[in-house]
Structure formats: C-alpha cells, structure tokens
Structure 1
Amino acid sequence: MSAPHVLAEVKDGIGWLTLNRPESLNALSFEMTDLLIKHTAEFEKDPAVRCVVIRGAGTHFMAGGDIKGFHKSLTENKAVHLAGFEMRVVKAHQTIYQIRRMAKPVLASVQGAAAGFGLSLILACDLAIAADDAFFTLAYRHIGLSADGGATYFLPRIVGERKALEIALLGERFTAQEAKGQNILNWIVPKDQLAAETEKMARRLADGPTIALATAKRLIRNSFDNSWDEHSHREAEGLAACAATEDHFEGLNAFLEKRKPHFKGR
C-alpha cells in the first residue's frame, strides 16, 4: 500500500502537514487535494492545534500541478477532462479557503522548488520561511494556463500589481532572496537549519495568545475589503473580545510580575 500523499501530525500544539509525493516533487494530485481539504478542516476545528505548518517531503516543497496527469487525462478523454476541470480547481480552492479563515497562524516551510500551485499555497499562508537555496516560479504560462490557488488575488496584494503581472506573464524563476525582497517570504535560513528554524517559529506561534492572533489575522485579511469606518468598528469588537480571554489576564499578570506569559489559547 502506497503512503498517503499528505501526512498529518499534531504534536505539542503544532499541526504538521507534509506534502508527501517526493518522487514527483510533491506535485498536486487528486489524493493530495482531498487530504489537504480533510486535514486543514480537522486542524481548523481542533483546539489542540494552535499553529499549522505546511512543508514538503524530500528536497522540494511543491512543483505545482501534476503535468503528467494532465497530459494523460487530455490524451485519453479530452471531453471528460475538460468537463470536470473547473470543478477540480474549485475543489482545490477549498484548501486555500480553509487556510485563510483558520483561526490560528499557518506557516509555510519551503525548500527546493515552489512552482505553480506550490507558490499559490505559500501566498495563502500567513507566514513563510525558506531555505536559502529555494526557488520559485508561477509557471502556469509555460503550459498555456492562467494561475489558480488564489495566486492572482494574493500576489498583487503582496508584491504590487506591476510585479505580479511580471511574475505571472513571464513565469520566470526567482530566488529565495528575491522572494523575500518582494515580501513573499518572511525569513530565509541556511538549508541545513530550515527544520530547526521552522520548529522554533512554529513553537513561538503555538505558544502565543491564540484568540488574539486569530483576531489580528482576521482583521488584517479583511482590511482590504472594508472601509476605514467599517474596519474601525471591527477592530473595537475584536479588541473587546480579546480583553475577555484568560490569555489577556495572564499577559497582564506576566507583565506586572516581569515574567514570560504562559498562554493557553483561551
């Protein structure tokens, strides 16, 4: 029996999702799509999960869609392939939706190639850390496709419209250093330190005041769609809700007692 295309593990408040098709550079398969939807939904609802990490098995993060699978499907039955294509994209987008609305931080940990849907997945996450030899491309144009996975929505918001157009229309490869310069990445670390630095950052997030972090995430995500007048009220509501949490009281006590707070996520 072959290994599942996504491995899921919860350990000490961190939910680990590992894309697990290393022999195919973790290209997105139907099974991987199903498992990403399943596990992100489970992590979203599990109070024991206070941070989620998405990473790739082997030496690469994700090389995008399964091009060999596309070609096989088109060759064998073009009509059936095209009839179901749009709904397969909509289904894949459910993972992106669940990552974005998840009331806990989601961290992408990137090594090697992040292409196509792999780059879209990184853009959808809240934070991203990468090895110094990682590389990126929104490669859809090379196989005559436009982008999915929210790339055309998130990319211009992160890098600006003009740079997003360059990345999408040319499909050129760019380095981790260039990705950080365009705010696609938060941190770059030496390749041999990626696992340790990812765990260290995940630990910081998982040990944080979960409700406050979730509120900040939601407010920042929604700010692009709201007027200031509307958003100011949402900020006030969010802060008031956080003020009623145990973590807020613990934070106050820790500050006054000059010690590190011990947040419990409630």
Structure 2
Amino acid sequence: MDGPVEGAAVLVERDGAVAVVTLNRPERRNALDGKTKAELRGALEDVAADAAVRAVLLTGAGGAFCAGQDLAEHAAALREDAAHAFDTVEQDYAPVVRLLATMDKPVVAGVNGTCVGAGLALALACDLRVFAEDAVLGTAFSAIGLTCDSGLSATLTRSVGEARARELVLLAEPFNAQQAVAWGISGRVVPRDEVGAAGRALAARLAAGPTAAYAESKRLIAAAWGRPLDATLAAEGQAQARLGLTADHAGAVEAFLAKRKPAFEGH
C-alpha cells in the first residue's frame, strides 16, 4: 500500500500483517462527510482484498473515533433535496458496515474518544474493540429526529439486549466505556494514550492466528441469529470440513502433538 496522500480523509498504514485504517478529520471529530465515506469504503475494499493483510485496526485521528455523520453536510443535503438526502445510507454506510462485518479477516476498533451515531455503529460492526477509558459513546440518532442506520438496530440489540437497546436509542443519552462493557458491548478499556498500542497489539495477535478459521467463525456467528438448530449444525459441519483441509489445521495438530507452538499462515 502507498503512503498517505496529502489531504486524505482516511489514512492506511501497513504494520506487518496489520492494516491500520485511520479516519483523518480530527478537526471535525472524524465526522463522516462524502469524501471520508468514499475514502473509507475504498480503503476497506483494498485491505479486504489484500492477502498480505491478515487483520485490520480501524481508529480515528486526534481525540475522537468518529462523531457520526457530518451534520453540516447533511443540513446542506436536506436544503438541496430532502428526498435524496438519505441516499448515503444505502450508498455509503451500508457498504462500509458490510465490509467491516464480513471481510474474511478480523477487524479491531480502536475507540480512542468520541464514538456516537454512525461512529458507534462502525465500532460495533468490528469484531473486537479497545476503548479509551474516557471515551464518550452514544446512539445520538433520536436526538436529531432520526432512527438507527448502519446496522446499529441489530448490532446494539445483540450486544446489550432489547430492553437496554430501546433505552439507549430512544433516550439517546451518552454513556461511557465502562458502562458499555458492563452492558455487553465487549471491549478492553485502557487509558486514552494506550489505545493505539493496545489496538495494534490485539490486531497483531489476530494476524498471527488462524485467519481462515476466523473467517469461518465470523460467518457462523453472523448467521446464527434466527437460524434453526439443524441449519446451524450443518453449517458448522461444512465449515469444519473446509478447515480440515487447510495447512493451518494440519500443522496445528502436529504442533500440539509435538508440544510446540503452531505457526498459522492463513490457508
């Protein structure tokens, strides 16, 4: 991957087998305008397709992770053509969330500060999270007369349960990282200045692991909600059969028998 482009709203850095994707509008708390959404989608498409990338860290520059939609841009879109102001939900937000949730490699969110609205949805679309201990989180949507988008109605409900999700969405009150973890939004809570290092370390640990198995696990977990037991058992059996043919599995079994640490290559 090339180095950062001057004026880029999204930065991509390679750190070994980890791709660090950074929202880069710190002066706007990394709010998502059209340029940022387009660059984020492109960056995620690139790292998802790059076989040399085995794990991804998504984070924000400065003191925020992501403040959600850029409301100045949104207000202009409403004034210009309210009927099409929300085309961005399908055109931009949905593809980004789909990439985070379904790419065949683990994604870590390094939540280094403010994380609200679509920003919270991005964090929940990732597989694992590291929170700054002073991060402020919130759904925010109903505070401006809107409902959830970017998958938040599903990911938040699955994390905290329906009753808590209703409270967080309808009241739109901010909450902190400690509350998030206590309520079921899994994540590690660290001092703000340690989020970057902790996120990179977690992503590097995943990158060194059985990434083919991680990909199968992501698909199984995502599909588990509402799927009949027999269908789940069948899907698990098929996934295990595919993984049984990988060099990672064969090597790990031999390593276990030889009492040595396995080396995973992702195939």
What is the rounded CA distance, in whole Å, between the counterparts of 1:50 and 1:222 in structure 2? Answer: 22
Q: 1:56 aligns with which of 60, 68, 75?
A: 60
Secondary structure, aligned partner of 1:16: strand
What is the rounded CA distance, in whole Å, between the counterparts of 2:199 and 2:258 in structure 1? Answer: 30
1:204 is aligned to 2:202: no
Shift of 1:143: 1.3
Secondary structure, aligned partner of 1:61: strand
- Aligned residues of 2:110 and 2:129 also touching (Cα < 8 A): yes
Aligned to 2:86: 86
Aligned to 2:139: 138
Aligned to 2:20: 16
What is the rounded CA distance, in whole Å, between the counterparts of 2:125 and 2:14 in structure 1? Answer: 21
Q: 1:32 aligns with which of 22, 32, 36?
A: 36
Q: Number of aligned residue pairs: give it.
A: 262
User: What letter is aligned with 2:190?
Assistant: V
Secondary structure, aligned partner of 1:120: helix
Select between 171-180 and 221-230 the one with higher mean Cα deviation.
221-230
Secondary structure, aligned partner of 1:18: strand
User: What letter is aligned with 1:86?
Assistant: F
What is the rounded CA distance, in whole Å, between the counterparts of 2:6 and 2:49 in structure 1? Answer: 28
Write the mapping of 1:238-257 to structure 2, written as runs, cut at 5 A. Answer: 238-257=239-258
What is the rounded CA distance, in whole Å, between the counterparts of 2:242 and 2:107 in structure 1? Answer: 22
What is the rounded CA distance, in whole Å, between the counterparts of 1:72 and 1:101 in structure 2? Answer: 32
Q: Matched residues, percent identical?
A: 38
Shift of 1:239: 0.6
- Aligned residues of 1:63 and 1:114 also touching (Cα < 8 A): yes
What is the rounded CA distance, in whole Å, between the counterparts of 1:3 and 1:254 in structure 2? Answer: 48
- Aligned residues of 2:77 and 2:85 also touching (Cα < 8 A): no
What is the rounded CA distance, in whole Å, between the counterparts of 2:191 and 2:100 in structure 1? Answer: 27
What is the rounded CA distance, in whole Å, between the counterparts of 2:88 and 2:74 in structure 1? Answer: 12
Deviation string 1:156-188 (CA, Å, 9 cap, x unpaired) is: 111111100000000001010000112213211
Deviation string 1:202-236 (CA, Å, 9 cap, x unpaired) is: 11100001111111111111111411101101000
1:163 is aligned to 2:167: no
State TM-score, norm by structure 2: 0.94
Aligned to 2:113: 112
Shift of 1:257: 2.0
What is the rounded CA distance, in whole Å, between the counterparts of 1:53 and 1:182 in structure 2? Answer: 23
1:218 is aligned to 2:219: yes
Shift of 1:73: 3.3
- Aligned residues of 1:51 and 1:104 also touching (Cα < 8 A): yes
What is the rounded CA distance, in whole Å, between the counterparts of 2:125 and 2:255 in structure 1? Answer: 33
Aligned to 1:99: 100
Aligned to 1:259: 260
CA-based RMSD:
1.3
- Aligned residues of 1:17 and 1:54 also touching (Cα < 8 A): yes
Q: 2:71 aligns with which of 55, 67, 73?
A: 67
Secondary structure, aligned partner of 2:109: strand
Q: 5+ residue gaps in structure 2?
A: none
What is the rounded CA distance, in whole Å, between the counterparts of 1:146 and 1:122 in structure 2? Answer: 18
- Aligned residues of 1:176 and 1:185 also touching (Cα < 8 A): no
